[in-house]
Chain A
Amino acid sequence: MKNLLAAATLALSVSASGLAFAEPLKIGMITTLSGGGAGLGIDTRDGFMLAIKNSGNKDITVVTEDDAQKPELAVSIADKMIQSDNVDVLTGIVWSNLLMAVAPGAVAQGKFYVSTNAAPAALAGANCNKLYFNAAYQNDNLHEAMGEYANKAYKKMFILAPNYPAGKDSLTGFKRYYKGELASEVYTQVGQTDYAAEIAQMRASGADGIFVFLPGGMGIAFMKQFAQSGVKIPVMGPGFSFSQDVLPAIGDAALGAKASGQWAPDFDNEASKKFLADFQTEYKRLPSIYAVQAYDAAQLILSAASKASVKNADAFRAELLKADIKSPRGNFKFNTNQHPIQDIYLTEVVKKDGVLTNKTVEKIFADHGDAYAKDCKL
Protein backbone atom coordinates (compact mmCIF):
# COMPACT_ATOMS: atom_id res chain seq x y z
CA MET A 1 0.00 0.00 0.00
CA LYS A 2 2.78 2.31 0.91
CA ASN A 3 4.48 1.56 -2.34
CA LEU A 4 1.34 2.20 -4.27
CA LEU A 5 0.93 5.55 -2.63
CA ALA A 6 4.50 6.39 -3.30
CA ALA A 7 4.08 5.40 -6.92
CA ALA A 8 0.99 7.54 -7.21
CA THR A 9 2.75 10.51 -5.76
CA LEU A 10 5.64 9.93 -8.05
CA ALA A 11 3.28 9.65 -10.99
CA LEU A 12 1.75 12.98 -10.16
CA SER A 13 5.06 14.71 -9.79
CA VAL A 14 6.37 13.20 -13.01
CA SER A 15 3.34 14.20 -15.09
CA ALA A 16 3.48 17.60 -13.61
CA SER A 17 7.10 18.05 -14.50
CA GLY A 18 6.52 16.51 -17.95
CA LEU A 19 9.35 14.03 -17.53
CA ALA A 20 9.18 10.51 -18.91
CA PHE A 21 7.49 8.11 -16.57
CA ALA A 22 10.09 5.54 -15.67
CA GLU A 23 8.56 2.38 -14.40
CA PRO A 24 9.41 -1.09 -15.63
CA LEU A 25 6.87 -2.46 -18.08
CA LYS A 26 6.90 -6.04 -19.29
CA ILE A 27 5.31 -6.87 -22.62
CA GLY A 28 4.55 -10.42 -23.69
CA MET A 29 4.58 -10.94 -27.43
CA ILE A 30 2.99 -14.12 -28.69
CA THR A 31 3.26 -14.43 -32.43
CA THR A 32 3.76 -16.94 -35.19
CA LEU A 33 7.44 -17.52 -35.85
CA SER A 34 7.32 -21.08 -37.18
CA GLY A 35 5.03 -22.94 -39.55
CA GLY A 36 3.33 -21.69 -42.70
CA GLY A 37 2.27 -18.29 -41.35
CA ALA A 38 5.64 -17.35 -39.86
CA GLY A 39 6.22 -14.51 -42.33
CA LEU A 40 3.40 -12.48 -40.82
CA GLY A 41 4.59 -13.04 -37.28
CA ILE A 42 8.15 -12.09 -38.12
CA ASP A 43 7.00 -8.79 -39.65
CA THR A 44 4.86 -8.21 -36.57
CA ARG A 45 7.77 -8.83 -34.24
CA ASP A 46 10.20 -6.74 -36.29
CA GLY A 47 7.84 -3.78 -36.61
CA PHE A 48 7.12 -3.88 -32.90
CA MET A 49 10.75 -4.13 -31.86
CA LEU A 50 11.68 -1.30 -34.20
CA ALA A 51 9.45 1.09 -32.26
CA ILE A 52 10.80 -0.18 -28.93
CA LYS A 53 14.36 0.26 -30.14
CA ASN A 54 13.71 3.74 -31.52
CA SER A 55 12.21 4.82 -28.22
CA GLY A 56 15.42 4.02 -26.39
CA ASN A 57 13.27 3.19 -23.37
CA LYS A 58 15.31 0.88 -21.15
CA ASP A 59 12.48 0.21 -18.72
CA ILE A 60 10.54 -1.82 -21.17
CA THR A 61 11.22 -5.50 -21.66
CA VAL A 62 9.61 -7.63 -24.32
CA VAL A 63 9.44 -11.41 -24.07
CA THR A 64 8.66 -13.06 -27.37
CA GLU A 65 7.41 -16.59 -27.95
CA ASP A 66 6.36 -18.61 -30.94
CA ASP A 67 2.78 -19.89 -31.03
CA ALA A 68 3.40 -22.01 -34.16
CA GLN A 69 -0.10 -20.87 -35.22
CA LYS A 70 -1.61 -23.33 -32.72
CA PRO A 71 -4.35 -21.96 -30.44
CA GLU A 72 -3.60 -24.42 -27.63
CA LEU A 73 0.04 -23.46 -27.62
CA ALA A 74 -0.82 -19.77 -27.65
CA VAL A 75 -3.05 -20.24 -24.60
CA SER A 76 -0.35 -22.13 -22.79
CA ILE A 77 2.22 -19.41 -23.55
CA ALA A 78 -0.20 -16.71 -22.46
CA ASP A 79 -0.77 -18.55 -19.19
CA LYS A 80 2.95 -18.76 -18.66
CA MET A 81 3.53 -15.10 -19.48
CA ILE A 82 0.76 -14.00 -17.17
CA GLN A 83 1.32 -16.43 -14.32
CA SER A 84 5.06 -16.89 -14.42
CA ASP A 85 6.69 -14.01 -16.30
CA ASN A 86 4.26 -11.45 -14.82
CA VAL A 87 3.87 -9.48 -18.03
CA ASP A 88 1.67 -6.38 -17.97
CA VAL A 89 0.62 -6.22 -21.59
CA LEU A 90 0.12 -8.95 -24.16
CA THR A 91 0.33 -8.42 -27.90
CA GLY A 92 1.44 -9.87 -31.21
CA ILE A 93 -1.14 -12.50 -32.21
CA VAL A 94 -1.71 -12.55 -35.94
CA TRP A 95 -4.71 -14.85 -36.31
CA SER A 96 -8.28 -14.29 -35.18
CA ASN A 97 -8.71 -17.85 -33.95
CA LEU A 98 -5.63 -17.60 -31.73
CA LEU A 99 -6.70 -14.21 -30.49
CA MET A 100 -10.11 -15.58 -29.54
CA ALA A 101 -8.33 -18.26 -27.55
CA VAL A 102 -6.00 -15.89 -25.71
CA ALA A 103 -7.48 -12.40 -25.38
CA PRO A 104 -10.66 -13.13 -23.35
CA GLY A 105 -8.63 -15.08 -20.79
CA ALA A 106 -5.88 -12.46 -20.63
CA VAL A 107 -8.22 -9.56 -19.95
CA ALA A 108 -10.15 -11.70 -17.47
CA GLN A 109 -6.88 -11.99 -15.55
CA GLY A 110 -6.50 -8.21 -15.56
CA LYS A 111 -3.90 -7.86 -18.32
CA PHE A 112 -4.00 -5.43 -21.23
CA TYR A 113 -4.15 -6.88 -24.69
CA VAL A 114 -3.17 -4.66 -27.62
CA SER A 115 -3.84 -6.43 -30.91
CA THR A 116 -1.43 -5.90 -33.76
CA ASN A 117 -3.63 -7.51 -36.36
CA ALA A 118 -6.45 -9.90 -35.57
CA ALA A 119 -9.72 -8.06 -34.93
CA PRO A 120 -12.67 -10.43 -34.82
CA ALA A 121 -16.14 -8.93 -34.67
CA ALA A 122 -16.79 -10.90 -31.48
CA LEU A 123 -14.48 -8.60 -29.52
CA ALA A 124 -15.55 -5.35 -31.17
CA GLY A 125 -19.24 -5.32 -30.28
CA ALA A 126 -21.12 -6.34 -27.16
CA ASN A 127 -18.15 -8.31 -25.86
CA CYS A 128 -15.69 -5.41 -26.04
CA ASN A 129 -13.45 -4.99 -23.00
CA LYS A 130 -11.74 -2.10 -21.28
CA LEU A 131 -8.42 -3.87 -21.36
CA TYR A 132 -8.61 -4.94 -25.00
CA PHE A 133 -7.34 -2.54 -27.65
CA ASN A 134 -6.89 -3.04 -31.35
CA ALA A 135 -4.18 -1.02 -33.09
CA ALA A 136 -4.79 -2.42 -36.56
CA TYR A 137 -8.42 -2.14 -37.71
CA GLN A 138 -11.58 -4.10 -37.29
CA ASN A 139 -11.59 -7.26 -39.45
CA ASP A 140 -14.40 -5.95 -41.66
CA ASN A 141 -12.84 -2.54 -42.46
CA LEU A 142 -10.73 -3.31 -45.49
CA HIS A 143 -13.47 -5.45 -47.01
CA GLU A 144 -16.02 -2.69 -46.48
CA ALA A 145 -13.70 -0.29 -48.27
CA MET A 146 -13.51 -2.58 -51.27
CA GLY A 147 -17.29 -2.87 -51.28
CA GLU A 148 -17.52 0.89 -51.36
CA TYR A 149 -14.93 1.10 -54.12
CA ALA A 150 -16.66 -1.59 -56.19
CA ASN A 151 -19.82 0.52 -56.28
CA LYS A 152 -18.04 3.02 -58.48
CA ALA A 153 -16.88 0.86 -61.32
CA TYR A 154 -18.53 -2.56 -61.18
CA LYS A 155 -22.03 -3.87 -61.59
CA LYS A 156 -21.66 -7.61 -61.13
CA MET A 157 -19.10 -8.91 -58.65
CA PHE A 158 -17.80 -12.42 -58.07
CA ILE A 159 -16.74 -12.64 -54.43
CA LEU A 160 -14.65 -15.39 -52.84
CA ALA A 161 -13.16 -16.14 -49.42
CA PRO A 162 -12.02 -19.16 -47.41
CA ASN A 163 -14.71 -21.03 -45.52
CA TYR A 164 -13.93 -19.82 -42.01
CA PRO A 165 -15.22 -17.01 -39.82
CA ALA A 166 -12.77 -14.34 -41.02
CA GLY A 167 -13.74 -15.30 -44.58
CA LYS A 168 -17.42 -14.96 -43.85
CA ASP A 169 -16.81 -11.66 -42.05
CA SER A 170 -14.91 -10.53 -45.11
CA LEU A 171 -17.73 -11.12 -47.55
CA THR A 172 -20.26 -9.77 -45.05
CA GLY A 173 -18.17 -6.61 -44.76
CA PHE A 174 -17.93 -6.30 -48.54
CA LYS A 175 -21.64 -6.73 -48.99
CA ARG A 176 -22.38 -4.19 -46.27
CA TYR A 177 -21.24 -1.45 -48.67
CA TYR A 178 -21.50 -3.02 -52.11
CA LYS A 179 -24.86 -2.25 -53.71
CA GLY A 180 -24.51 -3.94 -57.10
CA GLU A 181 -25.38 -7.43 -58.25
CA LEU A 182 -23.52 -10.54 -57.07
CA ALA A 183 -22.52 -13.00 -59.77
CA SER A 184 -21.61 -15.56 -57.15
CA GLU A 185 -20.41 -15.92 -53.59
CA VAL A 186 -17.94 -18.77 -53.18
CA TYR A 187 -16.29 -20.20 -50.09
CA THR A 188 -13.13 -22.24 -50.57
CA GLN A 189 -11.44 -24.66 -48.25
CA VAL A 190 -9.03 -23.17 -45.70
CA GLY A 191 -5.48 -23.76 -46.89
CA GLN A 192 -6.64 -24.63 -50.40
CA THR A 193 -3.84 -24.38 -52.93
CA ASP A 194 -5.53 -24.97 -56.24
CA TYR A 195 -8.14 -22.56 -57.52
CA ALA A 196 -8.62 -23.87 -61.03
CA ALA A 197 -12.20 -24.85 -60.28
CA GLU A 198 -13.07 -21.43 -58.88
CA ILE A 199 -11.33 -19.60 -61.73
CA ALA A 200 -13.38 -21.62 -64.18
CA GLN A 201 -16.52 -20.53 -62.37
CA MET A 202 -15.37 -16.92 -62.55
CA ARG A 203 -14.91 -17.20 -66.28
CA ALA A 204 -18.35 -18.65 -66.71
CA SER A 205 -20.09 -16.26 -64.33
CA GLY A 206 -20.24 -13.14 -66.48
CA ALA A 207 -18.92 -11.02 -63.62
CA ASP A 208 -17.18 -7.70 -64.37
CA GLY A 209 -15.12 -7.65 -61.19
CA ILE A 210 -13.67 -10.15 -58.73
CA PHE A 211 -13.16 -9.63 -55.01
CA VAL A 212 -10.99 -12.21 -53.25
CA PHE A 213 -9.93 -12.47 -49.65
CA LEU A 214 -7.18 -15.08 -49.53
CA PRO A 215 -4.45 -14.33 -47.02
CA GLY A 216 -0.93 -15.83 -47.14
CA GLY A 217 -0.14 -18.79 -49.37
CA MET A 218 -3.72 -19.09 -50.57
CA GLY A 219 -3.52 -15.64 -52.17
CA ILE A 220 -0.16 -16.40 -53.76
CA ALA A 221 -1.53 -19.55 -55.33
CA PHE A 222 -4.70 -17.86 -56.52
CA MET A 223 -3.01 -14.88 -58.16
CA LYS A 224 -0.45 -16.99 -59.99
CA GLN A 225 -3.11 -19.34 -61.29
CA PHE A 226 -5.44 -16.51 -62.19
CA ALA A 227 -2.73 -14.83 -64.25
CA GLN A 228 -2.31 -18.02 -66.28
CA SER A 229 -5.98 -18.64 -66.81
CA GLY A 230 -6.56 -16.08 -69.53
CA VAL A 231 -9.50 -14.64 -67.58
CA LYS A 232 -9.35 -10.87 -67.97
CA ILE A 233 -11.70 -9.71 -65.21
CA PRO A 234 -10.11 -7.18 -62.79
CA VAL A 235 -9.18 -8.59 -59.38
CA MET A 236 -9.38 -6.68 -56.13
CA GLY A 237 -9.10 -7.54 -52.49
CA PRO A 238 -8.33 -6.30 -49.01
CA GLY A 239 -4.77 -5.20 -48.32
CA PHE A 240 -3.60 -8.52 -46.90
CA SER A 241 -4.13 -10.21 -50.25
CA PHE A 242 -1.36 -8.09 -51.81
CA SER A 243 0.65 -7.21 -48.78
CA GLN A 244 4.43 -6.92 -48.89
CA ASP A 245 4.94 -10.36 -47.37
CA VAL A 246 3.31 -12.13 -50.32
CA LEU A 247 4.06 -9.81 -53.26
CA PRO A 248 7.55 -11.17 -54.02
CA ALA A 249 6.16 -14.69 -54.17
CA ILE A 250 3.24 -13.75 -56.44
CA GLY A 251 5.53 -11.89 -58.80
CA ASP A 252 4.30 -9.88 -61.78
CA ALA A 253 1.00 -11.70 -61.68
CA ALA A 254 -0.02 -9.22 -58.99
CA LEU A 255 0.59 -6.13 -61.13
CA GLY A 256 -2.44 -3.92 -61.37
CA ALA A 257 -4.39 -5.57 -58.57
CA LYS A 258 -6.45 -3.14 -56.53
CA ALA A 259 -6.59 -3.38 -52.79
CA SER A 260 -7.66 -1.44 -49.76
CA GLY A 261 -5.28 -0.50 -47.00
CA GLN A 262 -4.61 1.89 -44.15
CA TRP A 263 -1.05 2.28 -45.26
CA ALA A 264 1.23 1.93 -48.27
CA PRO A 265 4.98 2.49 -48.55
CA ASP A 266 4.47 5.61 -50.67
CA PHE A 267 2.58 7.51 -47.95
CA ASP A 268 3.73 11.09 -47.93
CA ASN A 269 4.05 11.90 -44.25
CA GLU A 270 7.04 12.26 -41.96
CA ALA A 271 6.17 9.33 -39.71
CA SER A 272 5.77 7.00 -42.65
CA LYS A 273 9.01 8.08 -44.30
CA LYS A 274 10.92 7.64 -41.09
CA PHE A 275 9.35 4.26 -40.41
CA LEU A 276 10.10 3.05 -43.91
CA ALA A 277 13.71 4.21 -43.78
CA ASP A 278 14.31 2.77 -40.31
CA PHE A 279 12.72 -0.54 -41.16
CA GLN A 280 14.73 -0.93 -44.34
CA THR A 281 17.95 -0.03 -42.57
CA GLU A 282 17.26 -2.44 -39.78
CA TYR A 283 15.91 -5.45 -41.69
CA LYS A 284 16.93 -4.89 -45.35
CA ARG A 285 13.44 -5.41 -46.74
CA LEU A 286 10.19 -3.56 -47.29
CA PRO A 287 7.78 -3.70 -44.36
CA SER A 288 4.32 -5.15 -44.77
CA ILE A 289 1.15 -3.74 -43.30
CA TYR A 290 1.59 -6.12 -40.35
CA ALA A 291 4.84 -4.40 -39.48
CA VAL A 292 3.13 -0.99 -39.50
CA GLN A 293 0.33 -2.19 -37.27
CA ALA A 294 2.76 -3.71 -34.79
CA TYR A 295 4.91 -0.56 -34.93
CA ASP A 296 1.87 1.51 -34.00
CA ALA A 297 0.86 -0.92 -31.26
CA ALA A 298 4.30 -0.54 -29.74
CA GLN A 299 4.09 3.25 -30.09
CA LEU A 300 0.73 3.23 -28.33
CA ILE A 301 2.05 1.17 -25.43
CA LEU A 302 5.18 3.33 -25.22
CA SER A 303 3.14 6.50 -25.20
CA ALA A 304 0.83 5.26 -22.45
CA ALA A 305 3.74 3.90 -20.44
CA SER A 306 5.48 7.24 -20.53
CA LYS A 307 2.51 8.90 -18.86
CA ALA A 308 0.93 6.36 -16.55
CA SER A 309 1.77 3.27 -14.60
CA VAL A 310 0.39 0.09 -16.02
CA LYS A 311 -0.39 -0.90 -12.41
CA ASN A 312 -3.04 1.77 -12.51
CA ALA A 313 -5.23 0.21 -15.16
CA ASP A 314 -7.68 3.08 -15.50
CA ALA A 315 -4.98 5.70 -15.98
CA PHE A 316 -3.04 3.51 -18.39
CA ARG A 317 -6.18 2.86 -20.37
CA ALA A 318 -7.01 6.53 -20.52
CA GLU A 319 -3.55 7.24 -21.93
CA LEU A 320 -3.85 4.46 -24.48
CA LEU A 321 -7.20 5.82 -25.62
CA LYS A 322 -5.66 9.18 -26.38
CA ALA A 323 -3.59 7.50 -29.09
CA ASP A 324 -0.97 10.18 -28.77
CA ILE A 325 1.32 8.82 -31.48
CA LYS A 326 2.60 9.74 -34.92
CA SER A 327 1.31 6.84 -36.97
CA PRO A 328 2.77 6.17 -40.40
CA ARG A 329 -0.86 5.79 -41.37
CA GLY A 330 -1.55 9.48 -40.77
CA ASN A 331 -4.87 10.06 -38.98
CA PHE A 332 -5.33 7.61 -36.16
CA LYS A 333 -7.65 7.67 -33.18
CA PHE A 334 -9.62 5.20 -31.14
CA ASN A 335 -13.33 4.59 -31.43
CA THR A 336 -15.56 3.96 -28.40
CA ASN A 337 -14.89 0.23 -28.73
CA GLN A 338 -11.13 0.83 -28.66
CA HIS A 339 -10.72 -0.06 -32.32
CA PRO A 340 -9.18 2.46 -34.75
CA ILE A 341 -10.88 5.25 -36.59
CA GLN A 342 -8.68 5.86 -39.59
CA ASP A 343 -8.58 6.62 -43.30
CA ILE A 344 -8.70 3.77 -45.76
CA TYR A 345 -7.16 4.04 -49.19
CA LEU A 346 -7.31 2.29 -52.49
CA THR A 347 -3.92 0.95 -53.51
CA GLU A 348 -2.60 -0.65 -56.66
CA VAL A 349 0.25 -3.09 -57.08
CA VAL A 350 3.05 -1.51 -59.13
CA LYS A 351 6.69 -2.18 -59.80
CA LYS A 352 9.04 0.42 -58.41
CA ASP A 353 12.80 0.08 -58.95
CA GLY A 354 12.25 -3.57 -59.83
CA VAL A 355 10.41 -4.29 -56.56
CA LEU A 356 6.71 -4.96 -56.37
CA THR A 357 4.91 -2.66 -53.99
CA ASN A 358 1.60 -0.95 -53.33
CA LYS A 359 0.93 2.56 -54.64
CA THR A 360 -1.80 4.74 -53.19
CA VAL A 361 -4.52 5.65 -55.65
CA GLU A 362 -7.23 7.42 -53.73
CA LYS A 363 -8.93 7.69 -50.37
CA ILE A 364 -12.01 5.48 -50.05
CA PHE A 365 -13.08 6.24 -46.49
CA ALA A 366 -12.10 9.11 -44.26
CA ASP A 367 -12.21 8.55 -40.49
CA HIS A 368 -13.73 5.14 -40.85
CA GLY A 369 -14.82 3.22 -37.75
CA ASP A 370 -16.65 -0.07 -37.66
CA ALA A 371 -20.18 -1.40 -37.56
CA TYR A 372 -19.87 -2.99 -34.14
CA ALA A 373 -18.89 0.01 -32.03
CA LYS A 374 -22.55 0.87 -31.41
CA ASP A 375 -23.02 -2.43 -29.55
CA CYS A 376 -20.05 -1.80 -27.29
CA LYS A 377 -21.00 -0.33 -23.94
CA LEU A 378 -17.79 0.92 -22.39
Chain B
Amino acid sequence: MVEPVLEISGLVKNFGALRATDGVTLDLRPGEIHALIGPNGAGKSTLIHQICGTLRQDAGTIRFVGRDVGALSVAERAQLGLGRTFQVSSIAPDFSALRNVMLAVQAKQGSSFRFFKPVMLDHSLIDTAMAMLERVNLGARARIPAAELSHGERRQLEIAMALALGSKAFLLDEPMAGMGPEGSKSLTRFLDTLRHEAPILLVEHDMDAVFALADRISVLVYGRVIATGTVEEIRRDPTVRTAYLGDHA
Protein backbone atom coordinates (compact mmCIF):
# COMPACT_ATOMS: atom_id res chain seq x y z
CA MET B 1 0.00 0.00 0.00
CA VAL B 2 1.13 3.48 -0.77
CA GLU B 3 2.21 5.65 2.13
CA PRO B 4 -0.40 8.40 2.83
CA VAL B 5 0.75 11.99 2.34
CA LEU B 6 -1.19 13.24 5.36
CA GLU B 7 -2.06 10.99 8.27
CA ILE B 8 -4.05 12.11 11.26
CA SER B 9 -4.73 9.80 14.15
CA GLY B 10 -6.55 10.13 17.42
CA LEU B 11 -6.68 13.92 17.25
CA VAL B 12 -8.36 15.60 20.26
CA LYS B 13 -9.03 19.26 20.95
CA ASN B 14 -10.98 20.63 23.90
CA PHE B 15 -12.30 24.14 24.45
CA GLY B 16 -13.10 24.15 28.14
CA ALA B 17 -15.78 21.51 28.57
CA LEU B 18 -16.46 21.32 24.84
CA ARG B 19 -14.66 18.58 22.90
CA ALA B 20 -14.43 20.11 19.44
CA THR B 21 -12.28 17.36 17.97
CA ASP B 22 -12.95 13.94 19.36
CA GLY B 23 -10.41 11.36 18.33
CA VAL B 24 -10.33 12.10 14.61
CA THR B 25 -8.39 9.72 12.42
CA LEU B 26 -8.13 10.16 8.67
CA ASP B 27 -5.57 10.11 5.89
CA LEU B 28 -4.93 11.56 2.45
CA ARG B 29 -3.39 9.33 -0.19
CA PRO B 30 -1.44 10.31 -3.26
CA GLY B 31 -3.55 11.33 -6.23
CA GLU B 32 -6.86 11.36 -4.46
CA ILE B 33 -9.42 13.97 -3.52
CA HIS B 34 -10.61 13.27 -0.01
CA ALA B 35 -13.68 15.30 0.90
CA LEU B 36 -14.50 16.22 4.48
CA ILE B 37 -18.15 17.01 5.01
CA GLY B 38 -20.33 17.64 7.98
CA PRO B 39 -22.99 19.97 9.31
CA ASN B 40 -22.17 23.43 10.64
CA GLY B 41 -20.51 23.24 14.03
CA ALA B 42 -19.23 19.74 13.39
CA GLY B 43 -15.69 20.89 14.07
CA LYS B 44 -14.37 21.15 10.52
CA SER B 45 -12.71 24.53 11.07
CA THR B 46 -11.13 23.40 14.31
CA LEU B 47 -9.74 20.36 12.55
CA ILE B 48 -8.29 22.43 9.73
CA HIS B 49 -6.70 24.83 12.21
CA GLN B 50 -4.94 21.89 13.83
CA ILE B 51 -3.75 20.48 10.53
CA CYS B 52 -2.33 23.86 9.51
CA GLY B 53 -0.85 24.62 12.89
CA THR B 54 -2.84 27.67 13.98
CA LEU B 55 -4.26 25.54 16.80
CA ARG B 56 -2.32 22.99 18.81
CA GLN B 57 -4.01 19.61 19.38
CA ASP B 58 -4.46 18.33 22.93
CA ALA B 59 -3.76 14.74 21.94
CA GLY B 60 -3.12 12.67 18.83
CA THR B 61 -0.62 12.94 16.01
CA ILE B 62 -0.43 14.64 12.62
CA ARG B 63 2.04 13.18 10.14
CA PHE B 64 2.76 14.92 6.87
CA VAL B 65 5.07 13.57 4.16
CA GLY B 66 6.39 11.08 6.64
CA ARG B 67 7.14 13.53 9.44
CA ASP B 68 5.42 14.25 12.71
CA VAL B 69 4.41 17.89 12.26
CA GLY B 70 2.23 18.20 15.35
CA ALA B 71 4.64 20.62 17.04
CA LEU B 72 5.63 22.66 13.99
CA SER B 73 4.51 26.22 13.27
CA VAL B 74 2.23 27.24 10.41
CA ALA B 75 5.19 28.46 8.40
CA GLU B 76 7.19 25.28 8.94
CA ARG B 77 4.30 23.10 7.80
CA ALA B 78 3.88 25.30 4.76
CA GLN B 79 7.57 24.92 3.98
CA LEU B 80 7.12 21.14 4.01
CA GLY B 81 4.51 21.55 1.28
CA LEU B 82 1.13 21.95 2.92
CA GLY B 83 -0.72 24.29 0.57
CA ARG B 84 -3.86 25.86 1.87
CA THR B 85 -6.76 28.03 0.80
CA PHE B 86 -9.14 29.73 3.18
CA GLN B 87 -12.87 29.76 3.67
CA VAL B 88 -12.69 33.56 3.32
CA SER B 89 -9.96 34.28 0.80
CA SER B 90 -6.71 35.30 2.43
CA ILE B 91 -4.50 37.44 0.25
CA ALA B 92 -2.31 40.53 0.59
CA PRO B 93 -4.85 43.09 -0.59
CA ASP B 94 -2.48 45.94 -1.50
CA PHE B 95 -0.32 43.69 -3.67
CA SER B 96 -1.16 42.85 -7.26
CA ALA B 97 -2.14 39.28 -8.04
CA LEU B 98 1.33 38.78 -9.44
CA ARG B 99 3.10 39.96 -6.31
CA ASN B 100 0.92 37.73 -4.19
CA VAL B 101 2.06 34.72 -6.15
CA MET B 102 5.64 35.99 -6.22
CA LEU B 103 5.56 35.94 -2.43
CA ALA B 104 4.79 32.23 -2.55
CA VAL B 105 7.48 31.65 -5.17
CA GLN B 106 10.10 33.41 -3.08
CA ALA B 107 9.07 31.39 -0.06
CA LYS B 108 9.43 28.21 -2.13
CA GLN B 109 12.84 29.30 -3.40
CA GLY B 110 13.97 29.49 0.18
CA SER B 111 15.09 32.90 1.31
CA SER B 112 13.14 36.01 2.12
CA PHE B 113 16.24 37.53 3.67
CA ARG B 114 17.47 39.19 0.51
CA PHE B 115 17.55 42.91 0.92
CA PHE B 116 18.96 44.48 -2.20
CA LYS B 117 17.71 42.93 -5.42
CA PRO B 118 14.38 44.42 -6.49
CA VAL B 119 11.79 41.68 -6.90
CA MET B 120 10.33 43.36 -9.95
CA LEU B 121 13.64 42.87 -11.74
CA ASP B 122 13.91 39.25 -10.65
CA HIS B 123 12.78 37.22 -13.63
CA SER B 124 13.07 33.87 -11.91
CA LEU B 125 10.35 35.11 -9.54
CA ILE B 126 8.17 36.86 -12.08
CA ASP B 127 8.23 34.11 -14.70
CA THR B 128 7.37 31.33 -12.26
CA ALA B 129 4.61 33.41 -10.73
CA MET B 130 3.17 34.30 -14.14
CA ALA B 131 3.16 30.64 -15.08
CA MET B 132 1.16 29.81 -11.98
CA LEU B 133 -1.32 32.60 -12.71
CA GLU B 134 -1.71 31.31 -16.26
CA ARG B 135 -2.50 27.85 -14.91
CA VAL B 136 -5.41 29.23 -12.93
CA ASN B 137 -6.47 31.45 -15.86
CA LEU B 138 -5.54 34.67 -14.09
CA GLY B 139 -2.74 35.68 -16.44
CA ALA B 140 -4.66 38.63 -17.78
CA ARG B 141 -5.35 39.94 -14.27
CA ALA B 142 -1.77 39.73 -13.01
CA ARG B 143 -1.26 43.45 -12.45
CA ILE B 144 -4.59 44.14 -10.76
CA PRO B 145 -4.43 44.81 -6.99
CA ALA B 146 -5.71 41.72 -5.23
CA ALA B 147 -8.26 43.79 -3.34
CA GLU B 148 -9.98 44.58 -6.66
CA LEU B 149 -10.25 40.97 -7.82
CA SER B 150 -13.63 39.28 -7.82
CA HIS B 151 -14.50 36.66 -5.27
CA GLY B 152 -13.85 33.81 -7.66
CA GLU B 153 -10.60 35.32 -8.87
CA ARG B 154 -9.31 35.49 -5.32
CA ARG B 155 -10.03 31.79 -4.98
CA GLN B 156 -8.02 31.17 -8.11
CA LEU B 157 -5.28 33.41 -6.79
CA GLU B 158 -5.07 31.44 -3.56
CA ILE B 159 -4.81 28.22 -5.52
CA ALA B 160 -2.09 29.74 -7.70
CA MET B 161 -0.18 30.57 -4.52
CA ALA B 162 -0.60 27.03 -3.24
CA LEU B 163 0.63 25.74 -6.62
CA ALA B 164 3.60 28.06 -6.50
CA LEU B 165 4.60 26.58 -3.17
CA GLY B 166 5.00 23.25 -4.95
CA SER B 167 2.58 21.83 -2.43
CA LYS B 168 2.65 18.12 -1.68
CA ALA B 169 -0.94 18.29 -0.49
CA PHE B 170 -3.73 20.84 -0.85
CA LEU B 171 -6.04 21.72 1.97
CA LEU B 172 -8.97 23.57 0.46
CA ASP B 173 -11.45 25.10 2.88
CA GLU B 174 -14.84 25.51 1.16
CA PRO B 175 -13.49 26.71 -2.18
CA MET B 176 -17.00 26.76 -3.69
CA ALA B 177 -18.43 29.04 -1.00
CA GLY B 178 -19.86 32.21 -2.49
CA MET B 179 -19.27 31.10 -6.10
CA GLY B 180 -22.04 31.28 -8.63
CA PRO B 181 -23.12 28.11 -10.50
CA GLU B 182 -20.86 28.89 -13.45
CA GLY B 183 -17.89 29.56 -11.20
CA SER B 184 -18.50 26.37 -9.27
CA LYS B 185 -18.54 24.32 -12.44
CA SER B 186 -15.30 25.71 -13.80
CA LEU B 187 -13.63 25.43 -10.41
CA THR B 188 -14.78 21.82 -10.18
CA ARG B 189 -13.19 21.11 -13.55
CA PHE B 190 -10.01 22.78 -12.42
CA LEU B 191 -9.80 20.86 -9.16
CA ASP B 192 -10.24 17.66 -11.11
CA THR B 193 -6.98 18.40 -12.92
CA LEU B 194 -5.30 19.68 -9.76
CA ARG B 195 -5.38 16.24 -8.17
CA HIS B 196 -2.61 15.14 -10.51
CA GLU B 197 -0.42 17.80 -8.94
CA ALA B 198 -0.99 16.68 -5.38
CA PRO B 199 -3.79 15.10 -3.36
CA ILE B 200 -6.52 17.35 -2.05
CA LEU B 201 -8.25 17.41 1.32
CA LEU B 202 -11.45 19.17 0.36
CA VAL B 203 -13.73 20.67 2.97
CA GLU B 204 -16.92 21.52 1.18
CA HIS B 205 -20.65 22.10 1.63
CA ASP B 206 -21.48 21.92 -2.08
CA MET B 207 -22.55 18.28 -2.39
CA ASP B 208 -22.64 18.34 -6.19
CA ALA B 209 -18.98 19.28 -6.24
CA VAL B 210 -18.13 16.76 -3.55
CA PHE B 211 -19.88 13.90 -5.29
CA ALA B 212 -18.35 14.89 -8.61
CA LEU B 213 -14.80 15.13 -7.35
CA ALA B 214 -14.24 13.03 -4.28
CA ASP B 215 -12.52 9.66 -4.36
CA ARG B 216 -13.32 9.21 -0.70
CA ILE B 217 -15.50 11.11 1.75
CA SER B 218 -15.22 11.43 5.52
CA VAL B 219 -18.21 12.66 7.50
CA LEU B 220 -17.54 14.72 10.61
CA VAL B 221 -20.31 15.12 13.19
CA TYR B 222 -19.79 16.55 16.69
CA GLY B 223 -16.05 16.36 16.32
CA ARG B 224 -16.04 12.67 15.28
CA VAL B 225 -15.57 10.98 11.97
CA ILE B 226 -18.68 8.85 11.78
CA ALA B 227 -17.89 7.32 8.41
CA THR B 228 -15.23 7.21 5.72
CA GLY B 229 -15.68 5.62 2.32
CA THR B 230 -16.23 6.03 -1.40
CA VAL B 231 -19.01 8.22 -2.68
CA GLU B 232 -21.27 5.21 -3.07
CA GLU B 233 -20.50 3.84 0.38
CA ILE B 234 -21.27 7.17 1.97
CA ARG B 235 -24.47 7.61 0.02
CA ARG B 236 -25.64 4.25 1.28
CA ASP B 237 -24.40 4.51 4.86
CA PRO B 238 -27.47 4.55 7.16
CA THR B 239 -25.77 6.45 10.00
CA VAL B 240 -24.73 9.17 7.60
CA ARG B 241 -28.19 9.33 6.15
CA THR B 242 -29.77 9.92 9.53
CA ALA B 243 -27.08 12.13 10.94
CA TYR B 244 -26.41 14.29 7.98
CA LEU B 245 -27.78 13.47 4.60
CA GLY B 246 -31.29 12.90 5.90
CA ASP B 247 -32.66 16.09 4.51
CA HIS B 248 -30.97 15.46 1.16
CA ALA B 249 -32.25 11.96 0.61
A contacts B: CB pair < 8 Å:
no
